[in-house]
Chains A and B, each alone.
Chain A
C-alpha cells in the first residue's frame, strides 16, 4: 500500500548548509501491518514519517500510496491525502488548547466538509474507540498526558484514514500510560488499521510486528529485507 523507492531528502537543498537527511530510502508497507521505525536521535526517522504523512517534500525518488504517485499531487490533492488517508499522532499531542475535546476531534471533519449530526456521531465513535467519550465536552487543558494522547489518536482515526502515523507517541508519557497507548494502537491494528510508529523506545518497537531501523538517513535493517539479504 505504501511504496517508497530510492527516496532522498535534503534540508536547505542546494544551499551551502545543505544536509542530506535521507539516502535512497526504499521500503514497502502493506495494509494491516504494524511497523516500528527505530533509530537514534537524528537518524532521519521523523523526516521519513513527515514525508510519509505528506507534510514534507523530497527531491528525488518516488512515493506511492495505493499506486498513486504522491510527488505529482497538487497542494489541494495532498491536503486530501492528509485529511482522508493519513491520521497523524505527534509526541506532544498537537491539540488546540482553546478547543474542547470534541472540537479537537472534529477538526479533520471540517476539512472533509462533514458537519452536523453525522460529524458528531463520527466524533463520538472515535472517542469510544479510545475510551474517552465521557470527556467530549471537557476542555483539553483539564486532561492528563495520557488522556490527551488518546484524544490525539481519536482525532487521527475520526475520518477513517488508511493508515495511522505516530511520531514518538509515548515520548511524553510515563511507563504505565505508554503501555496503555501502545495497547490502543495494537487494538486499532487488530481492527485492520495500518499503523506506523516512529520510536527510539525498544519496548514500543517490540510490540510491532515489523521493525525498520534507520541510521544516518539509511535503512540498515528491516525484518523483512534482513531475511532476504540472508
Chain B
C-alpha cells in the first residue's frame, strides 16, 4: 500500500506525459497499422489486389482465403493442437532447464562457473551445421518423426541463459543467499524459495521468448517430421509461403512446368495464413505482460 502512495507522488510531469504519449501513439500506429493491413489484405479480393495493390479500403472484399483454409479444418485444428502442445511443453521445460543452468553461473562462489559459461557460450557461435545435426538426431538419437525432435532443438538458448544469469546476478543479492544458507536452506530450496520468486520478470521474459521460438519454429518440422498429423501450424504456413517464394525464384522452371503455377496461393491467402499463425501469440502476450509490472515481485516476496 505504502509503495503505491509514494509512486503516485513520484510521477513524471504532465507535460512529459503528454509528449511521451504522443510519441507512443505514433509508434503504436506504425506497429498496428501494418498488422491491420495484413488482416485487410487477407480479406481482399485478388482482382482488387492485382489492380490496386494493398489498400486499407479495398474495392472488392472476399473471404475466399479463409474459406480455402477452413475447408481443410481438420488439418488446421490438428496443426494447432501440435503447435500448442509443443509450445506449452517446450516452454515450461525450457525455462526450467535454462534457469537451472543460469543460476549457478550467477553465483560468484561457484568454482565451475567459468567453465560452464564457456561451455554454453561456445555453442552460441559454433555448431556442426544442419547435416551433422540431422545425423545425430536421426541416427544416434532416433528422433525422426518424434515430437521430441521439435522440442529438443530449442530447449536451451545460450543467449537467453546468459541474459538470465545476468539478471540473477543483478537482482539477487548474495547476502540474501548467504543468510538463507545460514538458516540451513539447501541449494535447491534457496533456488525455489528465493531465486525464482525474485526473478519472475525475467522468467516471464524468457518464457515469452521460448513461446515465440517454439510457436514460430517450422524448420525442425521440415527436417524431422514425416507424418502429416504431427505437423505444427507454422510449418503448414511456411510451406505455403515457401512454395510461393520458390516459384517466384524459379520463374524459368515454372515456365517449363506450368503445373507449378496452378493453385498457387495468392497474397490474400498468404496473409490469412500470417493472421492465423500470429493470432494465438498476440492473445497470450498479455498473460506474460502482467509479470513486467514494476515493483510487483519484490513487494510480493517481502510481504
The answer on A and B forming one complex is no
